Amino acid sequence: MNSIKFIAFDLDGTLLDTAKDFFLAVNQLRSKYQLKPCEFSEIRSRVSEGAISLASYALNLDDNDKDKIELHRQELLKIYASCCLNKTTPFVGINELLNQINKAELKWGIVTNKPKA
């Protein structure tokens, strides 16, 4: 049997619950364009789909308007950067899991598909 060499985690939506901060960012973006706040459940269900999905949802954008979506995705990410640590917390049990991994002296890290910090 092979022993575990390394454990890789995704950050957003796996180790950290970022939905509350994305909810704040999406509603700030909506407010900028005089749109009413959205429901938290709508954001919670889209966080794992990424910023394109969130920006598109936030402003009711047409999926075919790639340039407009990208513009507002960047805008959303800028807003999110200003509030991304306000309400983000580890999911229940994550701290204990990481402590167990560390006690077992296993190597672990975070992987991402994000091209930048």
| Bridge partner residues of 102 (DSSP) | none
Catalytic residue among 12, 21, 62, 67: 12
Q: Structure tokens of 89?
A: 């917390």
Buried b (16+ CB within 10 A) or exposed e, 40-73: eeebeebbeeebbbbbbbbbebeeeeeeebeebb
Catalytic residue list contains 17:
no
Q: How far is CA 12 from CA 9, 36, 82, in A?
A: 9, 26, 16
Catalytic residue list contains 10:
yes
Q: Structure tokens of 84?
A: 């991304």
Catalytic residue among 10, 62, 63, 65: 10
- Active-site positions read 10, 12
